[in-house]
């Protein structure tokens, strides 16, 4: 039975770790089947990469995005079996594809193909147009935007993660310029470059966006079975054409995650479960909506805690 106050949220790139998904796949046939399908569709040993690494290969954008998608959908399938059903979903950047699988908008095989293309195009754009990203903690949004406006070259706010946590993206020199200015105002320990291979969610990803339009247009989409809040607007989208357009725009536009969580709260969501590796999004919920509950599912222990709270026998 659907829990009208529960949302599933799905992590994006950066949450990967060697060993992710292994416990669930070894224990639940439903999770194992997801890894089998991914390996068959992609023609590669994604399961082995997730479970055993090496870490250097797992960190490559082309592998990371597919690995996180697969681990998230594996955890999703186990939650379904356990009778944990949300009334809304959202995903951070890459996680939006897991969310759309959860909402019945796209099937897992199509999500694999889309994410494979997206990751390849983004990696290619990152190698041809050198860029980077950096996290800025403790600075007011308007002030950081003003610093970005002073830089020569491309730099913009890429992630509005939660109050006091922003990420900038753009050309290396421009990002470093804003970092230096921010450090002078709020202290060096609260500004840090991110280990990424490109300037994601910035205009430097425009070549990837242009190429991605072709495979995105070819995929069949269904109307969402539950509410889906989208990154670009931070609002719920119900129209398939709108969702397709927003997925394309997401490659170069900022992730409005703080607004996304606030939108879900307005629809009546009070409990969040992060589905997939890591606890990054659970932390963002607690900092954005401190009165809300946030849990995560990535292994047997965390699954047990969530099913005890939200399982079908509750």
Query: 180, 197, 214 — which closes off a domain?
Result: 197
Same-domain check for residues 27 and 49: yes
93 is catalytic: yes
Closest to 79 measured CA to CA, from 280, 283, 274:
274
Assigned token pair, 8 = 């599933």
CATH number (domain holding residue 292):
3.40.366.10
- Taking all residues of the chain, what is their mean pLDDT, rounded to a whole number? 95
Same-domain check for residues 248 and 290: yes
Tens-digit pLDDT profile for residues 143-159: 999 999 999 999 999 99
Same-domain check for residues 167 and 255: no
**Which of the residues 92, 116, 177, 201 is marked catalytic?**
201
**Which of the residues 15, 72, 87, 93 is marked catalytic?**
93
- Domain with 155, as residue range(s), is 131-197
Same-domain check for residues 152 and 260: no
**Local structure of residue 255 (DSSP, 8 states):** B
pTM of the model: 0.96
- pLDDT, mean of residues 198-213: 97
CATH number (domain holding residue 183):
3.30.70.250
Taking the C-alpha atoms of residue 220 and residue 96, their distance in angstroms, rounded to an integer, is 16
CB 105 within 8 A of CB 227: no
Give residue 9's pLDDT band: very low, low, confident or very high (50, 70, 90).
very high
Number of Cβ within 10 Å of residue 237's Cβ equals 20
Query: 163, 197, 231 — which closes off a domain?
Result: 197
pLDDT of residue 190: 83
pLDDT of residue 197: 85
Tens-digit pLDDT profile for residues 17-74: 999 999 999 999 999 999 999 999 999 999 999 999 999 999 898 999 999 999 999 9
Tens-digit pLDDT profile for residues 162-201: 999 999 999 999 999 999 999 888 664 689 999 888 999 9
Strand 191-194 relative to strand 165-171, pairing: unpaired
pLDDT of residue 2: 62
Same-domain check for residues 68 and 208: yes
Domain count, the chain: 2
Residue 26, CA distances (Å) to 35, 141, 220 in order: 11, 44, 32
């Amino acid at each position: 039975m659907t829990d009208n106050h529960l949302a599933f949220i799905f992590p994006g790139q950066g949450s990967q770790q060697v060993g992710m998904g292994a416990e669930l796949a070894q224990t639940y046939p439903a999770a194992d089947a997801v890894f089998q399908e991914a390996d068959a569709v992609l023609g590669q040993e994604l399961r082995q990469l997730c479970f055993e690494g090496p870490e250097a290969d797992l960190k490559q954008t082309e592998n990371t995005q597919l690995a996180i998608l697969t681990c998230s959908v594996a955890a999703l399938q186990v939650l379904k079996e356990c009778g944990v059903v949300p009334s809304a979903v959202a995903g951070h950047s890459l996680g939006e594809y897991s969310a759309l699988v959860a909402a019945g908008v796209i099937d897992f095989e199509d999500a694999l193909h889309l994410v494979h293309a997206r990751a390849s195009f983004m990696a290619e754009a990152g190698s041809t147009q050198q860029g980077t990203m950096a996290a800025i903690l403790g600075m007011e949004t308007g002030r950081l935007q003003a610093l970005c406006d002073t830089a020569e070259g491309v730099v913009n706010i890429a992630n509005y993660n939660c109050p006091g946590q922003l990420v900038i993206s753009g050309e290396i020199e421009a990002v470093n310029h804003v970092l230096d200015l921010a450090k002078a105002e709020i202290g060096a320990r609260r500004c840090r470059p991110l280990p990424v291979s490109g300037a994601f969610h910035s205009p430097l990803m425009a070549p990837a966006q242009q190429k991605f339009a072709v495979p995105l247009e070819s995929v069949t989409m269904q109307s969402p079975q539950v509410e889906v809040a989208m990154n670009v607007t931070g609002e719920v989208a119900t129209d398939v054409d709108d969702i397709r357009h927003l997925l394309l725009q997401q490659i170069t536009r900022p992730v409005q995650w703080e607004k996304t969580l606030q939108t879900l709260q307005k629809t009546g969501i009070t409990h969040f479960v992060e589905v997939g590796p890591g606890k990054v999004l659970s932390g963002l919920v607690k900092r954005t909506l401190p009165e809300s509950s946030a849990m995560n599912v990535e292994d047997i222990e965390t699954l047990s805690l969530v099913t005890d709270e939200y399982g079908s026998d509750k």
